[in-house]
Amino acid sequence: MITSTEIFGLLSVFSWLCAQIPQCYKNYRLKSIEGLSLEFIVSWLIGDLLNVVGCIFSNQLRFQLVLSIWFVFVDIILTQQYISYKDTQDERGRPVTRMLTHRQTVSLSINRVATRPPLTNKGAKRSQTHSVQRTGRSTSRSRSIASLLILTMTLGVSAAPTITPSQVNSEISATVGKLSSWACVTFYLSSRMPQIYYNYQRKSVEGLSVYLFIFALLGNSCYTLSIMTSPQLHQSRPLAVEYLLKSLPFLIGSFGTILFDIIIILQVIIYKNNYTSEERQPLL
């Protein structure tokens, strides 16, 4: 018979499986990562990597380990998108034309053409060659960085489940699990703050998928409930206390971020009218 812990665990897994996909798709559709704070992505990535280590060495539930590995996998995608699209934005410059009216854009274009001195064939060829070389070097650099980052994190995640507490000294294992779990909590609790400030500073949530935080809210809530309804809490008092203490970092990390998720969802509601015409589409 399926237990309430398993039900909440499955709901949490489903929520997190759905959470980042809309954001990844939105980044792909807009070819931009302008809606995400870099500090948010980095904090989330470090927190998720520490979460994997904490789950392994503190012997957490199986679904917690699977979920933590999925987090890292999606972080890899977001990181790759950030590197690729950030490089593209740097090459073409900030798209300020979205803030101009159509008439202003046309006027600026005409003025630029009228005032620009004609290029000789040699000058034009040299300019085009330099542009192509610069773009090629930049694209190659981004691809190399992204590939190296993805390969490193993929190898780390794939190797992580092979490490078990039985393979190392139990005291060292417990210490590593505890330290990584609490470090993970620190990064989780602080990860949303840069994003909240970033939204406030821009007075906009353009490029940000609200579904990322709606599903995160559901996922964190179910994650918390799955731990609190675990049969291990109904064991003898010493064993129940031991389980609760080992799960405490994960409880704080999931339950503690709920407030921040709510704040970001409220920001989406408050700043929803600040979208540009390109963003007036179904929110993904």
The whole-angstrom separation of Cα 208 and Cα 191 is 15
Residue 276: per-residue pLDDT? 54
198-256 pLDDT per residue, tens? 999 999 999 999 999 999 999 999 989 988 888 888 888 888 888 888 788 878 888 88
Q: What does the pLDDT read at residue 161?
A: 46
Identify the residue with better confidence: 255 or 165.
255
Q: What is the mean pLDDT of residues 121-150?
A: 49
For 66, the token pair is: 């699977």
Contact 40, 264 (CB under 8 A): no
Mean pLDDT of the region 189-194: 91
Of 27-31, 176-180, 211-215, 224-228, the poorest mean pLDDT is in 176-180
Between these two residues, 94 and 65, which has the higher pLDDT value? 65
Q: Which of 64, 44, 46, 63 is nearest to 55 (CA)?
A: 64
CB hemisphere CA count around 196 (13 angstroms): 14
CB 265 within 8 A of CB 210: yes
What percent of the chain shows pLDDT beyond 70? 68
According to the model, what pLDDT value does residue 239 have? 87
What is the predicted pLDDT for the residue at 173?
80
C-alpha distance across the termini of the chain, in Å: 37
CA distance 236 to 89: 58
Query: Which of 1-15, 209-223, 262-276 is the most confident on average?
Result: 209-223
Res. 2 pLDDT band, cuts 50 70 90: confident
Q: What is the 3-state secondary structure (H, E, C) of the chain?
A: CCCHHHHHHHHHHHHHHHHHHHHHHHHHHHCCCCCCCHHHHHHHHHHHHHHHHHHHHCCCCHHHHHHHHHHHHHHHHHHHHHHHHHHHHHHHCCCHHHHCCHHHHHHHHHHHHHHCCCCCHHHHHHHHHHHHHHHHHHHHHHHHHHHHHHHHHHHHHHHHHHCCHHHCCHHHHHHHHHHHHHHHHHHHHHHHHHHHHHHHHHCCCCCCCHHHHHHHHHHHHHHHHHHHCCHHHHCCHHHHHHHHHHHHHHHHHHHHHHHHHHHHHHHHHHCHHHCCHHHCCCCC
Provide the percentage of residues in the chain whose pLDDT is more than 90. Answer: 29
* 132 has a pLDDT exceeding 60: no
Cα dist. 206→60, 75, 97, 202 in Å? 37, 20, 15, 9
pLDDT of the residue at 262? 95
pLDDT confidence of 277, banded at 50, 70, 90? Answer: very low
Residue 151 above 80 pLDDT? no
Query: Which pLDDT value is given to residue 67?
Result: 78
Q: Report how far residue 203's alpha carbon sits from residue 268's, in angstroms, rounded to the nearest whole number.
A: 10
Crossing angle between the packed helical segments 210-228 and 237-270, to the nearest 10 degrees: 160
Question: Residue 113: is its pLDDT beyond 60?
Answer: no
Quote the pLDDT of residue 184. Answer: 85
> What are the tens digits of pLDDT across the range 83-110?
998 877 666 555 444 444 444 443 434 4
Tell whether the torsion through CA atoms of 196, 43, 68 and 226 is positive or negative. negative
User: Is the per-residue pLDDT at 191 higher than 50?
Assistant: yes
Between 282 and 77, the higher pLDDT residue: 77
**If phi over 0 gives left and psi between -120 and 50 gives alpha, with beta otherwise, what is residue 209?**
beta
Q: What is the pTM of this model?
A: 0.67
Neighbours of 260 (CB within 10 A): 21
Average pLDDT for residues 264-276, to the nearest whole number? 85
